[in-house]
Homo-oligomer: A and B are copies of this chain.
Amino acid sequence: MALEHALLVSLAERAASGLELTRRFDASIGFFWQASHQQIYRTLKRMETDGWVVSEEVAQSKRPAKLVYEVTSSGHQELRRWLGEPTAPTPQRSELAVKLRGAWLGDTPADSSDATADPTGTTPATPRRELLADVRRHLAEHAARLEHYRQGCARDYPDPRALSGGDLDRYLVLRGGILQEEYQVAWLTEYLAAFATEPTEPTEPAEHDRSETHR
């Protein structure tokens, strides 16, 4: 029940069309909330029937027309109500963490010491090694995002102590994004250090420039 309010916040900063909102969710707001364009279009429709926003068709040169949404006074009222409401803690999920906890279950390739051995000739493939590569991949992504956030922070907020109002709010949330990425980098680095007995590709740092975009 929070995508609507995330859209209200974004639209209150500046009126926008569905696709423009989708791009914002890929960037700034998306640090802490994500949504696909289908979800956004559907939710905008519902918000308009609820009277929180109004749409206006805006013609463009050399482009199809777009529907620009604007927050109504009723929408602002709802936003204020929501802001004052106590917030339930959002559950944190990490599929990677679940995998890391169960990693030892992949360390017995075809050991038939227990009753669960399967007679089929499946390839062992050592999940532990794959998992370490996975961790390195995630670490590289978090490090890259951290660098990106830091650059944006230095560019947009050169003097944090002079900030106030909406600028201060946005700065502090960006700080949260930076601290979150720092935590991820710290954890995964500590994790890899615990398995650092074998260097695993000592010639390459593997921390940056991975061009496998995976689709």
Contacts and interface: CB of A to CB of B under 8 A. Distances in A.
Contact of A93 (B34, B86, B97): B34
Interface string A109-140: 00000001110001001110011001001100
Interface of A: 2, 5-6, 8-9, 12, 29, 31-34, 71-74, 76-77, 79-80, 82-107, 116-118, 122, 125-127, 130-131, 134, 137-138, 141, 165-166, 168-170, 172-173, 175-176, 179-180, 182-183, 186-187, 190-191, 194, 214
Nearest to A30: B91
Contact of A83 (B6, B90, B103, B186): B103
A32 B94 contact: yes
A118 B79 CA distance: 13
A89 B141 contact: yes
B104 A165 contact: yes
Contacts of A72: 116
B179 A103 contact: no
| Copies of this protein chain in the complex | 2
A164 to B, nearest CB: 9
Contacts of A214: 86
A79 B93 contact: no
B73 A104 contact: no
Nearest to A171: B194
Given A131-B84, A166-B104, A172-B191, A122 B77 contact: yes
Closest 5 CB pairs of A and B: A9-B102, A183-B183, A32-B97, A83-B127, A104-B166
A187 B171 CA distance: 12
Nearest to A115: B73
B83 A31 contact: no
Given A89-B141, A138-B87, A98 B29 contact: yes
Nearest to A145: B89
A107 B172 contact: no
